[in-house]
Amino acid sequence: MINHDLKKKLYKEMLYIRMIEERIAEIYHPADEMKCPTHLYTGQEAVAVGICNALIEGDVVCPYHRSHGWYMAKGGDLKAMMAELFGKEAGCSKGWGGSMHLVDVGSGVMGSSSILGGTIPHAAGCALAFQIKEVENVAIASCGDAAIEEGVFHESMNWASLKKLPVVFVCENNLYSTSSPLGVRQPPVEIYKRTVSYGIPGVRVDGNDVLKVYEAALEAVSLARAGDGPTLIEAMTYRWREHVGPNYDYSLGYRSKQELEEWIEKCPIKRVSDVVSEREEELLIEGFSKEIDEAIDFARQSPFPKPS
Amino acid sequence: MKYSEALREAQAQIMRYDESVFVCGLGVPDPKGVFGSTVGLEEEFGPKRVFDTPACENATVGMMIGASFQGMRPIMVNQRLDFTLLALDQIINHAAKWKWMFGGVQRVPIVIRVIVGRGWGQGAQHSQTMHALFAHIPGLKVVAPVSPKDVKGLLISSIEDDDPVIFIEHRRLYDEEGDVPQGIYRVPIGKANVVQEGVDITLVALSHMVVETEKAGIALKEKGISAEIIDMRSLRPLDMDTILNSVKKTGRLVVIDDDWKLCGIAGEIIAALVENDHKMFKAPPIRLTWPDMPTPTSVVLESAHYTTAKDIYEASCICLDRRVDPALFIDEEREQPFSGPF
Ligand SMILES: Cc1ncc(C[n+]2csc(CCOP(=O)(O)OP(=O)(O)O)c2C)c(N)n1
Ligand SMILES: [Mg+2]
């Protein structure tokens, strides 16, 4: 059962990520201090937060280009992330990664990739090492719905199933790859059902319901940890802002304002906001705001790396 | 000891003292053990450290990257280099980049063993060398040893190296015999080998072409020409110092490269020398490479495709401005004849 404290923790983490993303959106233009392609996580917070809360020390995540939420949910350092977005020496990749490649090895964020599906085998490989070394850890491969179309997703699923590797594949299905809707890219078979041919469980969850995501993750992670192999979790969700960058993009015409508004109604944070009082919420917002200010100040003040 | 046995021994000796090393790839534990190079490893180290993989080269390299995050030192074996081309995403976009993109915190100590085929109709998709392609990429190391001694010593260095290494083997060398020191020893990555010293002309080659070049060297000697033969051994890093010192001495250069000419390592070597001092050349340097087409399968077309000792001899004579006599190749039988199927 999910107790009140945990529910509150999930709420807080989502709120924190939301505030970070919205602040980035706010200051991205016209200052242009963050000179890197940035894929904001606004609207999808429940997925990374729900999954990462089912993990323990030593577990790892190998995320994808929409990486901020995963990095933060797994315990990445906000200052190092901001500095990376600003291209600074103190960045988590020292200025070699940018927004699409966040890494915090100490917290188990094993680097995201801006190549679709690129880190899926990395998670499977971490899982292979866990199995060889007989340690009871689990690796998470996260990706968007377009990565399912890449060969390496299927290669990794096949192997992970074959060897019962302790890996959980998490697909955040936000219905679009840039501006291409799912229907023009994939046959009308739900993503979670692709696992049938690999003989592993596939589950679909409401990706805007952090409690549901958490429960699905807990089950998948316990299976993996017990040696019962991988699961694919398809989390249905929606990105609020444009594919890359800080704006809303319904004016482009590939999706409607109405569709966006329907999803905003399903806001993952609002859905569990009853865990805090209004006063508590105010205090949280105040505290997070300060932390984000500090991280941005830190990033601004950090020196640029020196070209060698 | 045979080249294939030297490969096997390098892996076995390292695996005995380093628990983090494992070997995988299509056919690794099969009875023939990748042409002998993995025979007996599964028996000695068990199926957890020596195992077969599904046919998924890209995911396999990706998984080796992931395993290396957890402290492992994986070796992946590819029966033909051509198959590894399916893994270029994980090799070039990921393994090669990660040490920078992780801010230096995480390295990717993986070895990708790849075997170049030749002969018995291996053809367009089983005989590519591609060393220039890999050598082009910062973050990779690329080696292509020719002798049993070097293959063992370089494989040990490659396994111990913290960067991803593309370890290029040649199928035609697998049965070649040579002296191999017993225990663990290292041949440094990035150091060329002067196979034969000489003063008149420099012949630079790598992998199987070193064998042909040595044969040409004997014929040249009979003509009174003293050739310096350099085996590159490593392509990245490339030991330009050794080549530079030699060409400064001889002023003449033939680069023998089992690869296509455009954007190849032969052109790269000549360009680097010209950049250093264009006046060192007494005659235009020569690149001996493949014709600009894929490898054919028919035996007659196939043998026309490859550079022979005779070609090297003739090119050397041209570079030296000597009359080209029909050369005498006393050592034609030195190489084991290759019979297929694979
Ligand atoms: C191999 C590859 N092909 C194409 C791209 C270009 N690209 C970047 S993000 C993206 C959309 C990805 O959609 P999805 O996987 O659903 O993730 P989302 O952005 O929706 O979170 C595309 C096509 C890429 N980065 N890598
Ligand atoms: Mg998507």
Least Cα separation, residue B105 to chain A (angstroms): 8
β-strands A202-206, B73-78: how paired?
Answer: unpaired
Q: Are A111 and A101 in contact (CB under 8 A)?
A: yes
Nearest C-alpha neighbor of B114 from the set B87, B92, B138, B153: B87
* Range A264-271 average pLDDT: 98
- ipTM confidence: 0.96
Q: CB distance A129–B98 less than 8 Å?
A: no
Q: What is the structure's pLDDT at B324?
A: 83
Q: How far apart are CA B296 and CA B122, in angstroms?
A: 8
| Residue B333 scores a pLDDT above 80 | no
Domains of chain A: 4-299 (3.40.50.970)
Q: CB distance B70–A129 less than 8 Å?
A: yes
Q: Is the CB of A243 under 6 A from ligand 1?
A: yes
Q: CB distance B103–A96 less than 8 Å?
A: yes
Q: Is the CB of A176 under 6 A from ligand 1?
A: yes
| CA atoms A146, A152, A156, A158: torsion sign | positive
Q: Are A206 and A236 in contact (CB under 8 A)?
A: yes
The DSSP letter of residue A180 is E
* Range A170-174 average pLDDT: 98
* CATH superfamily of the domain spanning B3-173: Thiamin diphosphate (ThDP)-binding fold, Pyr/PP domains (3.40.50.970)
* Range A65-81 average pLDDT: 98
The residues with which A177 forms a beta bridge, in sequence order, are A180
| Residue B174 scores a pLDDT above 60 | yes
Q: What is the structure's pLDDT at B330?
A: 54
B67: chain A residues, CB-CB within 8 Å: 125-126, 128-129, 132
Burial (0-12, 13-18, 19+ Cβ within 10 Å), A87:
buried
Chain B contact for A124 (CB, 8 A cutoff):
yes
Helix A4-28 × helix A45-52 angle, to 10°:
140
- Which residues make up the environment of ion ligand 2, defined by Cβ < 5 Å? A 144-145, 174, 176
Q: How far apart are CA A77 and CA A93, in angstroms?
A: 12
How many interface pairs between A and B have CB atoms less than 8 angstroms apart?
A: 127
Q: CB distance B65–A124 less than 8 Å?
A: no
Radius of gyration of chain A (CA): 19
Q: How far apart are CA B37 and CA A171, in angstroms?
A: 40
| CA atoms A32, A34, A38, A44: torsion sign | negative
Three-state DSSP state, B223: coil
| Residue B334 scores a pLDDT above 80 | no
* Tens-place pLDDT, residues A269-288: 999 999 999 999 999 999 99
Structure tokens at A298: 């830190």
* Tens-place pLDDT, residues A17-60: 999 999 999 999 999 999 999 999 999 999 999 999 999 999 99
Q: How far apart are CA B215 and CA B36, in angstroms?
A: 27
| Residue B140 scores a pLDDT above 80 | yes
The DSSP letter of residue A166 is S
Percent of chain A scoring above 70 in pLDDT: 100
Cβ within 8 Å of residue B123, ≥6 positions away: B294, B295, B296, B297
Q: Are A36 and A99 in contact (CB under 8 A)?
A: yes
Residues of B carrying an active site annotation: 57, 126
* Tens-place pLDDT, residues A231-255: 999 999 999 999 999 999 999 999 9
Burial (0-12, 13-18, 19+ Cβ within 10 Å), B145:
buried
The H or E element that residue A291 is part of is helix A278-301
Choose the residue to mutate in A178, A242, A263 for probing ligand 1, maximizing ligand atoms within 8 Å of C-beta: A178
User: Ligand 2 centroid to A27 CA: how many Å?
Assistant: 24
Q: What is the structure's pLDDT at B338?
A: 81
Cβ within 8 Å of residue A280, ≥6 positions away: none
Cβ within 8 Å of residue A170, ≥6 positions away: A47, A51, A140, A141, A142, A143, A217, A232, A233, A235
Structure tokens at B261: 């000419």
| Residue B331 scores a pLDDT above 60 | no
Q: CB distance B103–A91 less than 8 Å?
A: yes
CATH fold of B193-328, please? Rossmann fold (3.40.50)
| Residue B101 scores a pLDDT above 80 | yes
Cβ within 8 Å of residue B208, ≥6 positions away: B116, B118, B146, B170, B172, B173, B258
Q: What is the structure's pLDDT at B323?
A: 85
Q: Are B110 and B73 in contact (CB under 8 A)?
A: yes
Q: Answer whether B3-173 and B193-328 agree in fold.
A: yes
Q: How far apart are CA A305 and CA B39, in angstroms?
A: 49
Percent of chain A scoring above 90 in pLDDT: 99
Q: Cα angle vertex A22, ends A45, A303, to 5°?
A: 110
Q: What is the structure's pLDDT at A2?
A: 83
B110: chain A residues, CB-CB within 8 Å: none
pTM of the model: 0.97
Cα–Cα separations (whole angstroms), residue B54 to A42, A204, B108, B126, B320: 38, 27, 22, 19, 52
Chain B contact for A97 (CB, 8 A cutoff):
yes
Q: Are B283 and B251 in contact (CB under 8 A)?
A: yes
Chain B contact for A67 (CB, 8 A cutoff):
no
β-strands B73-78, B50-51: how paired?
Answer: unpaired
* Range B179-203 average pLDDT: 98
* Tens-place pLDDT, residues A111-170: 999 999 999 999 999 999 999 999 999 999 999 999 999 999 999 999 999 999 999 999
Least trusted range by pLDDT, from A180-184, B22-26, B82-86, B117-121: B117-121
User: Ligand 2 centroid to A237 CA: how many Å?
Assistant: 9
Average pLDDT score, chain B: 96
Interface list for chain B against chain A, based on CB atoms closer than 8 Å: 22, 48-49, 53-54, 56, 58-72, 89-90, 93-94, 98, 100-106
Least Cα separation, residue A266 to chain B (angstroms): 36
B102: chain A residues, CB-CB within 8 Å: 93, 97, 103, 105, 111
* Tens-place pLDDT, residues B42-80: 999 999 999 999 999 999 999 999 999 999 999 999 999
Q: Are A195 and A133 in contact (CB under 8 A)?
A: no
Q: What size, in residues, is chain B?
A: 342
Domains of chain B: which residue ranges?
3-173, 193-328
Residue A243 CA: nearest ligand 1 atom is 19
Q: What is the structure's pLDDT at B332?
A: 55
* Range B147-164 average pLDDT: 98
Chain B residue with Cα closest to A165:
B63
| Residue B329 scores a pLDDT above 90 | no
Kindly report the backbone phi and psi dihedral angles of residue A84, in degrees, each rounded to the nearest multiple of 5, phi listed first. -65, -45
Chain B contact for A230 (CB, 8 A cutoff):
no
Tokens 């089992």 sit at which residue?
B258
Q: Identify each DSSP E strand in chain A by its residue range.
A: 60-62, 139-144, 167-173, 176-177, 180-181, 202-206, 231-236
B64: chain A residues, CB-CB within 8 Å: 125
- Using pLDDT thresholds of 50, 70 and 90, give the confidence band for residue B341: confident
Q: How far apart are CA B201 and CA B337, in angstroms?
A: 29
Chain B residue with Cα closest to A80:
B103
Tokens 């000419």 sit at which residue?
B261
The residues with which B79 forms a beta bridge, in sequence order, are none
Q: Are A63 and A230 in contact (CB under 8 A)?
A: no
Three-state DSSP state, B288: strand
Chain A residue with Cα closest to B69:
A126
String of DSSP letters for B166-178: EEEEEGGGTT-B-
